[in-house]
Chain A
Amino acid sequence: MNQTVFAPWDDPNATPLIRFQNVTKRFGEFTAIDDLTLDIYAQEFFALLGPSGCGKTTMMRMLAGFETVTEGRIELAGQDIGPVPPNERAVNMMFQSYALFPHLSVWENIAFGLRRDRKTKGEITARVEEMLKLVRLEKFAQRKPHQISGGQRQRVALARSLAKAPKLLLLDEPLGALDKKLRQDTQFELMDIQETTGTTFVIVTHDQEEAMTVASRVAVMDEGRIMQVATPAAIYEYPNSVYVADFIGDVNIIEGRASPSGDEEYKLDWTEGQAPVLAKSQATFSEGQEAHLAIRPEKIRISTEKPDDAVNAMQGKVLDIAYLGNLSTYHVELPGGQVIKAQTANTRRIARRDITWEDPVWISWSATAGVMLDQ
C-alpha cells in the first residue's frame, strides 16, 4: 500500500470540514435526527447509508440549508451555518430527481449558478466549457434536458452542481435512476471526478454496494442515529452491531451465551445437541453473557468430507442452492433446524461440481472468521 494513506479521521490534529454537534431535528412529534455528532473531513467521499426514513436525506437537506436544525449546530469550515440561507452556502447539491430546469438548455443549466455569482461572460463561458468537458457532454450543450438520455442528464446535474466549485458537494441518491450496468460505470466516473476536483463529496444512498464502492468512509444510519462510521472494509469485516452486520451484505448470525476459554477466545453455547462454537474476539464478554456471532457466508467452507483441521465444523444437509454465476450460495440445514449460508466461488464448470440438493455436507470455519457482537 501507499505510504500516505488518506485517513484524516485517524489524525487527531486534522480539523474536520463539517461538524455535526449534537444535532437533533424534529418534525412535529417525529424525531428525524436524534442527538447526532459527526465529523467529515475535507476531500472525503463520505456516504450516508441506511434504509428509507433513517434520516440520511434530512441530514443532507440540513447541510444544503433546506431544513433547519432543531437543536445543536452544524459547522462548515469552522463557521456555524445555521443562519445562512441555502443560496449563500458554499455547498451545492445534486438532486435525486436531478432537478434540471426543463426550460433551459444543458449549457444554460450549467451556467445558472455561475450567473447568480455575477461572473463575467468570459468566466462563465470558460467554466461551462470546462464542466462540459469534465462530464464529456460538449456535443449536447444546446440540447434541452428532455432531449438527452437518463445517464446524460445525471452528468449534467453533476456538472451543474460542480460548476461553482463548492467546498462541499451533496449527492442525493445520484445513481438511483440509472440501470445497473450504467450505475457501475458511473460510480467509477464519480470517484474519478471527485479525485480530479478535490471536492468533498457527501453521498446519500440506500444501496450498500454503491456506498462501499465509492466512499472513503461510510456512516450506517438507522432511525435518526448513526450506528457506525468506518471505512467500507472495516464496516464489512468489523461491524459493531448485528444491525450493521445484517444491513451490509449477507451474514449468518449465531446467538448464544459466551464463556471465556483463553486469550481473547470464547466458547459460544448456541444450541442443545451441538458443540459450542469457538471464536476470537477483542471485545470482552463475561461468563454467560449473551452474544451474537456474525459470520459472512464466504468465510464458511463447505465440503463433502469432514475437514480435519477445522476449529468449528458441523454436519448438515443442503436445502437450497442459489446459483449467481460467479458464486453459489448453499443453504445448509443443521439437525436442529437452523439454516447456515455458505458461499463458494464457482471456479469450476457447473457439471463438475459435486454438491447438490439433499446432500449431507460439512460446514466449517475458523475461530477468527466471525465477529462477536453484544448487540
Chain B
Amino acid sequence: MKRATLILVPYLWLLVLFLAPFLIVLKISLSDAALAIPPYTPTLKDGIGALIAELDFENFIFLTEDDLYWKAYLSSLRIAVISTLLTLLVGYPIAYGMARAPDEWRATLMMLVILPFWTSFLIRVYAWMGILSNEGLLNQLLIWLGLINDPLTILNTNTAVYIGIVYTYLPFMILPIYAALDRLDSSLDEAAQDLGCTRMQAFWLVTIPLSRNGIVAGSFLVFIPALGEFVIPSLLGGSGTLMIGKVLWEEFFNNRDWPVASAVAVILLLILVIPIVLFQRNQQKQQEAEQ
C-alpha cells in the first residue's frame, strides 16, 4: 500500500464526517429558523453569495437575551465542577486502597473497576432510578432504619444528577490516580516517615503532590464529558435541572429550532475548549516528564 493511500483514507473520512459536519453546525448557527425541511435558511442550494449575505448572529444574540441559556450554561458548569470534586473525593480513597493492596489482588481489583466501564452507560444510570425514587430502595431502607419518617425526594433533583455522574464516571477518576499511585515508590512514604513526618503529613506532603498528575487527568476526564452530559440529567434530573446538553436536545427534537440548537452547540464547544486545551497540556507535560 502506498503511503499516500494510507494517509488519505482516514484523513478524508474524518474531513467528510467530522470536520465538514462541524462547519455545517457553525453555518446553521448563523442562519434563520424556517418552517420547512430542512428547517433553516439559507441552504446550500441558494448559492454561496446568498449564504454569506444572510448569515447573522441573531441566534447568538437570542441566546444572550433569553436567560434560560445563561442559566443552563452556568448550571452545567456548576454541576460539572461539583460532581468532579465529589468523584475525586470518592475515587481517591479507592485508588489509594488499590495501590496499597497486595499484589495478587491488583489484577482482580483492576478488573472490577473496568467492568462497569464495559457495561451499558444507560443501564447504569437507569439502575439508580429504582433506588432513588420515592418508593425506592434507599427510602425504604432509611424509613426501616427509622432515620426518616417521610420519603426523601431525591430522584428528579440535582442530587440525583450528582450521584449519577459520580457513579458512572468513577472509573475514569480511579484509573489515572491508581496509575500515578502505583508508579509511586513506597519507600518515598517510608522516607518521609523516617524523616519525622506523621503518616498523615507524609500523605499530604509526599503522596498527594506526587499523584497530582493522576488527579488532574482524572478530573478532566470526568469534567469534560459531564459538562455536555445528556442522559443523566434527563433520566435522574428534574424539570429544575438545567444542563446544556439537555437544552440542546430539547431545542432540536422538541422545538425543532435547528439554528438555535446549533448556536447552543457552538457555545458549548467554546466553553469546552479551555479545559480540553489544559488537559492536553497536562498530558503532554506528563509524557515529556516520563521520557
Chains A and B touch (C-beta atoms under 8 A apart):
no
